[in-house]
Amino acid sequence: MVVKYIRAASLDEADRVLASDKRARILAGGTQLLTSEFRDREFVAVDAGSLLPRGLERTAEGLTRIGAGAVFQDLADSPVPSRILSEAALGMANRNVRNAATVGGNLGAARSCSSLVPALLVLDARVRIHGAAETRPLADWLAAPSGIVTWIEIPASPGLRAAYARWSRTACDLSVLTCAASYRLQDGSLRDVRIACGGLDARSRRFPELERLFEGRPLPGRDEAAAAVAPALKPIDDLRGSAAFKRLRASELVAEALLTAREVSR
């Protein structure tokens, strides 16, 4: 629950509060921080909602920039991001939530059930942190988050193919399992294979052990891909599914993402 509310006048001020008060959390859309799940935790809400950029743009160099304050529905509706990102944004709960939840907030929440993060990871997204000169790889930031993300930047990658697939119990459910894949096709073989999954670990992450299975090889058939992936996955049993089920279901999702990506230039 919110014990104190601070409407930050600037991101510098927000940074200062974050540094000085352990209970401080950046408040953006509120769809995570203000839910009943966090009712018993005391925190200081640093409202940065109006300070975060909301823009979605593509630079002349082909860089896609997503403001951390953009809400999921913006991402779903905009022609700027690639198809995989629009679809991943639509994978977020329902319209009411998408109208409030921000992209930056989703990264900050770092939930394994994010429909978006695996897609960003296979696009090699980088994040711009307020006050920092250089961007950082999103994967690094997720592993050790610090600072306020202002922009998410996706480099131009001509020839990159990318797709994403998710499984949820009902359509508007959280993403129990999400798998995204990207690669280039060179002389009939997969190059620069990236595979990221959510729902298998505490956080969404890249799976180099899966990427190695496919790097430099021709695109496998669906059965072959799923069969190769399954033994490498070690999900845990929980109320959303047994380990055996999740292993099978996630391996099918990886196969689906790999096969769908072939048809989709990003």
Partner 1 sequence: MTVTFKLNGRPVSWDCPEGESLKAALRRKGIVSVRDGCDGEGSCGLCAVLLDGRTVNSCTLLAAQAEGREIYTVEHFSKDRKLSVVQRALIDAACVQCGYCTPAVVLAVHSLLERSPEPTKQEVKDALSGTLCRCTGYEQFHNAVRIAAKRLKDPGYAEAAAPEFRPDLRHVGKDREKVDAAALARGEKAFVEDRVDSDACHLALLTSPHAHAWIKSIDASAALELPGVVAVLTHENCPDRVYTTAGQGFPEPSPHDQRMFSRKVRHVGDRVAAVLAETPDQARTALKALKVEYEVLKPVFSIAEARTPGAPVVHSGEVRYVSGEAPAGTSTAGDGRDDPVVYQFPLHADPHRNLAASVADGIGDVEKGFAEADVVVERTYKGNRVQCTPMEPHVVYAKVDGGRLVLHASTQVPWHVRRIVSRAVGIPENKVRVIKERVGGGFGAKQDIVLEDVAGYLAWTTGRPVFFRYDREQEFISSRTRHLMEITVKLGAKKDGRLTAVLMKVDADTGPYGQHCLTVPMNAVSKSLPLVLCDNARFEVKSYYTNLTPAGAYQGYGAPKGSFALQTALAELAAELGMDQLDLIERNRVRSGSRIEILRSLGEGRPGAAVTLGECGLGEMIGRGRKAFGWGGAKPATEDPDWKVGRGAVIVQQGSGLPGLDAANAEVRLLADGTVLLLSGGADLGTGLDTVTAKAAAEILGLDMEDVAVISGDTDVTPFDKGAYASSGTYFSGNAAVKAAEDLRAKVLAAASAVLGEPVSDLAIVHRGIVRGRKGEVTLAKLAHMSTQGEHHGDLVGIGGFKTEHAAFPYGAHFAEVAVNVRTGDVKLRRFHAYQDCGTPINPALALGQIYGGILKAVGHSLYEELLYDKDGRCVNPRFLDYKIPTIWEVPEDFHVELVPVADEVGPFGGKSVSEISLNGAAPAISIAIHDAVGVWMREWPFTPERILKALGKI
* Contact positions vs partner 1 (CB under 8 A): 1-5, 7, 27, 29-31, 34-37, 39, 45, 47, 49, 73, 93-97, 99-100, 167, 169-174, 222, 226, 239-242, 244-245, 248-249, 252
Nearer to partner 1, 10 or 96 (CB): 96
Nearer of residues 220 and 241 to partner 1, judged by Cβ: 241
124 backbone dihedrals φ, ψ, rounded to 5°: 60, 40
Q: How far is the CB of 208 from partner 1 (least distance, A)?
A: 25
Q: How far is the CB of 31 from partner 1 (least distance, A)?
A: 5
Query: Whole-number minimum distance, CB 132 to partner 1, in Å?
Result: 27
Residues 147, 206, 94, 2, Cα dihedral to 10°: -30
Q: Which is nearer to partner 1, 190 or 255 (CB)?
A: 255
Q: Which is closer to partner 1, CB of 64 or CB of 112?
A: 112
Tokens found for residue 166: 């998710």
* 34-144-110 Cα angle (round to 5): 35
Question: What whole-number distance in Å separates Cα of residue 43 and Cα of residue 56?
Answer: 30
For partner 1, the closer of residues 13 and 153 by Cβ is 13
- Min separation Cβ 220 and partner 1, Å: 15
The answer to whether 149 and 28 are in contact (CB under 8 A) is no
Nearest to 47 by CA among 97, 6, 99, 3: 6
CB of 28 to partner 1, least distance (A): 10
H-helix or E-strand spanning residue 257 = helix 243-263
Residue showing tokens 């897609």: 119
Strands 2-7 and 56-58: unpaired
Residue 37 or 187: which CB sits closer to partner 1? 37
Which residue, 53, 27, 32, 47, is CA-closest to 150? 53
Q: How far is the CB of 186 from partner 1 (least distance, A)?
A: 29
